[in-house]
Structure 1
Amino acid sequence: MSASTVPASQAPAAEGPTLARSIGPFQLFAYTLGGMLGAGIYGLVGRAAGELGSAVWLGFLVAMVAALLTGLSYASLGSRYPHAGGAATIAQRAFARPLLTWVVGLAVMASGLSSVATQSRVVAENLLRLAGLEGVPTLVLALGFLLIICGIVLRGIQESMWVNILCTTVEAIGLVLVIIVGIPYWGSADLLETPGNEGIGLSFLMTGAILTFFAFIGFEDTINVAEEARDPRRTLPFGIIGAMLAATVLYIAVAITAVSVVPWQELSAAPGPLAEVMARAAPWLPGWFYVAITVFAVANTALLNYVTASRLVFGMARQGLLPKPLASVHAGRRTPHVATLALLPVLVALVLAGDISQLAAATVLLLLAVFTVVNVALLVLQRRPGERKGGFEVPWPVPAAGALVCAALLLNRLGTGDWRAPALAGALLAAILLGYAVLRPKVTEETLPAA
């Protein structure tokens, strides 16, 4: 029997210590929300206003519907197979093609690691701005930050969760404050005004969805910690869906506030759109306030991506796709300590490489391809006789529509005319394939705990 068809209840018992099931429903909710509420929303509102005018809020609403299709698929799959390894584990279970599993796993890992490295430098730059330190190399602070988050991830999943809750709370407070100070301005703008008064049609809505869809990326990280959640068949869907709905409410309210306080034409030209909103609606707020929030938001994104990458490495090693020692669990801390430490030199190398923003953009393309594969995987598993059901099931049109939406977004990104990100994505994919050809990993029976 292949690893892809072993029911979780029949999976062999893991030898040695296992990951601790200690994550509650609120922590899962905060984990998902924290993954989405990154610093990107602080700049995305301005870019979106330039394309959508005062109707920018509508773009977030349509994007939520598009993103929720894939979010529902992840919620269903997580309730079926609450195991570390995330998309890689699901791809192997659905298709039983080690090469595809390898590509999916390393694509997600590349996205996470490039994000951690990029955010480490951003944290360092903002800390220098906050402290007014001159002469301190950004690189030193970035590497120091990497060591701190590595230590948190090593310490335990509960420690990582509580740090995430703190950072997510600060991020949310920053957005809520924008809404509160801007509410008196509500009603002062035509919320359906578009550039050139082109009207709101299907093409307009698609443009808005494509632009703002990426504000919701981050929900996919949650499935990687499902094995450490209590009652994941119930709590994981709650965490993903609840967080996506909460993020949508925040995004729409922030968008309405932004165009109400600052005309959309000026908002789109502002280097810091929400900082401009606060400067007009709350001039009493010190200028460093949003710099500090940015530090929390970016640090949180880096932490969550480090957790995700470590669990992905752990899950792939357990399948036999990566060296077996990477599947070790610390007896005391119950964390994948070898996988966590193995990622550190890779991250240090990425930080030392300098500006890897193009690499981060390239991995977004690979992530859209992974979303497409995951949606198709759910379709396959739903139709497989004898395949276990989850605690949260969705009808087949949901993953079918999710796959189509993600494939359309991928094609749109490829057709933007900017060849750098697609070329780098192609090079990264070629490197992943070369790694498979050289290492020839063998998939073994998954030693996953029963759900």
Structure 2
Amino acid sequence: MAGGDPARVGQFAPDVPPVTGIFSASIIAFFSFLGFESAANMAEEVKDPTRSYPRALFGAIGTAGVVYLLIAIGAAIVVPTNTLVGSSGPLLEILKASGVGIPGSLFSIIALIAIANGALLFITMASRATYGLAEAHLLPQTFSKVMPGRRTPWVAILVVGLVTMGMSFVGDVGDLADVTVQLLLLVFVSANISVLVLKKDKVGHRHVTVPRIVPILALAATAVLLTQQDAHTWIVTGGYVLVGTAIFVIARVHAKRTGQPEPTSNAASAFD
């Protein structure tokens, strides 16, 4: 830290407009917070989710936000920006500059564990979402099968796990991160529109509410972030959307032919 320069904290790259740099950094920050969005799919497994989940969610986001901010400030002070940009392991550059003696091999193991943890989190989240869609007759009923003893959606977990492994062979990690962020931004657009629509419903029991301005501001922020993605990311994202739409149409046609009930949701009773 002796060679650090606190003045670098407020400096922007000379060839990048400040607004563009802020929005580009927002995309990376958005990816860093994906785990919190995933936790919503596990809320139904929590006792008294109306009380417990919002407190846990915003408490965790606040804690992580402070930690991420401190790391970003420390990185700007300790390591020159050009060094961070040109490095394949910027966090390792920070550790080297700070004088902390962590071997490169140990740091690689830590990074591998962190990536594996993120993958497991995604599999857990996506499998529960897939199970829920199958229960609502929006996906084939095969995905709603659970193990007799543990009651876990084993088919959804297996399929999501295989798809996740397959995606690891397509493009690099940066491309996958961009597409993941793009898809989630589109999900957040639909989620915030749903909040505005569901606020018209009357719910007879205690539930979480937010002012109407919150989803409106969220929609505006999401729209701005969507403009930061390049054409390649939009094309790949469009392919995933088309595949998902095709599966949805097939499931709905099958449900109508077999006389299954229309999909129902208790979302309005949980949050508006």
- Scaled by the length of structure 1, the TM-score of the pair is 0.51
- Give the alignment of 1:130-141 within 5 angstroms: none
Shift of 1:336: 1.9
Give 1:267 shift.
2.4
Q: Is the 8 A contact 2:23 2:225 kept in 1?
A: no
**1:310 and 2:130 equivalent?**
no
Distance 2:15 2:161 in 1: 51
In structure 2, what is the equivalent of residue 429 of structure 1? 241
Kept in 1, the 8 Å contact 2:179–2:237? The answer is yes
1:348 Cα offset (Å)? 5.2
Mapped to 1, the partners of 2:107 and 2:159 lie a distance apart of: 34
Following the alignment from structure 2 to structure 1, what is the Cα–Cα distance between the partners of residues 265 and 248? 22
* Alignment pair present for 1:192 and 2:24: no
Counterparts of 1:98-247 in structure 2 under 5 Å? 182=1, 188-196=6-14, 205-247=22-64
Q: Please report how far the alpha carbon of residue 445 of structure 1 lies from its aligned counterpart in structure 2 after TM superposition.
A: 5.2
Q: Does 1:405 align with 2:221?
A: yes
Amino acid at match of 1:387: V
1:253 Cα offset (Å): 0.8
Amino acid across the alignment from 1:396: R
Q: Residues 411 and 381 (structure 1 numbering): CA distance in 2 closer, same or farther, change over 3 Å?
A: same
Report the AA paired with residue 444 of structure 1: E
Cα 1:359/1:289, change in 2 over 3 Å: closer
Q: Among all aligned residue pairs of Structure 1 and Structure 2, give the percentage whose two residues are the same amino acid.
A: 31
CA offsets per residue over residues 309-347 of structure 1, 9 Å max, x none? 111111111111223343233342132223223434444
Give the Å deviation of 1:237.
0.9
AA matched with 2:222: C
The Cα shift of 1:245 comes to 1.0
Counterpart in the other structure of 1:137: none
* Offset at residue 409 of structure 1 (A): 0.9
CA contact (8 A) 2:134 2:141 kept: yes
CA shift digits 1:340-393 (9 cap, x unpaired):
234344445545x55465455334322211111101111111123x23565432
Quick check: 1:381–1:387 contact (8 Å CA) kept in 2? no
C-alpha contact 2:136 2:264 (8 A) present in aligned 1: yes
Alignment of 1:10-409 (within 5 A): 182=1, 188-196=6-14, 205-282=22-99, 284-347=101-164, 349-350=166-167, 353-355=169-171, 357=173, 358=175, 361-384=178-201, 386-387=202-203, 391-409=207-225
Q: In 2, are the aligned partners of 1:186 and 1:256 still within 8 Å (CA)?
A: no
The residue identity in structure 1 corresponding to 2:197 is V
Q: Distance in 1 between matches of 2:7 and 2:152?
A: 51
Q: Which residue of 1 aligns with 2:258?
A: none
Q: Count residues with an aligned counterpart.
A: 261
Determine the C-alpha separation between the residues in 2 that align with 1:307 and 1:199.
39
Cα 1:424/1:447, change in 2 over 3 Å: closer
Q: Deviations over 1:51-83 (max 9, x none)?
A: xxxxxxxxxxxxxxxxxxxxxxxxxxxxxxxxx
Displacement of 1:243 in angstroms is 1.5
**Aligned CA distance change for structure 1 residues 374 and 191 (closer, same or farther; 3 Å):** same
Task: Select the structure with the greater relative contact order (CA < 8 A; seq sep ≥ 6).
Answer: 1
Q: Following the alignment from structure 1 to structure 2, what is the Cα–Cα distance between the partners of residues 261 and 230? A: 44
Q: Is the 8 A contact 2:123 2:161 kept in 1?
A: no
Asked if the contact 2:146–2:155 (Cα under 8 Å) also holds between the matched residues in 1, the reply is: yes
- Give per-residue Cα distances to partners, 1:116-155, cap 9 Å, x unaligned: xxxxxxxxxxxxxxxxxxxxxxxxxxxxxxxxxxxxxxxx
User: Per-residue CA shift, 1:368-425, capped at 9, x if unaligned?
Assistant: 11111101111111123x2356543211101110011112211232xx4xx3221122
| Contact 1:185 1:257 (8 Å CA) reproduced | no
- Please give the alpha-carbon distance, in whole angstroms, between the structure 2 residues aligned to 1:207 and 1:356: 19
Contact 1:378/1:399 (8 A) holds in 2: yes
The answer on whether the counterparts of 2:4 and 2:79 sit within 8 Å (CA) in structure 1 is: no
1:303: Cα distance to partner?
Answer: 0.8
After superposition, what is the alpha-carbon deviation per residue over 1:146-191, rounded to whole angstroms, capped at 9, x for unaligned? xxxxxxxxxxxxxxxxxxxxxxxxxxxxxxxxxxxx5x66764442
Judge conservation of contact 2:78–2:98 (CA < 8 Å) in 1.
yes
| Unmatched 5+ stretches in structure 1 | 1-181
Distance 1:188 1:376 in 2: 42
Which one-letter code corresponds to 1:241 in the other structure?
F
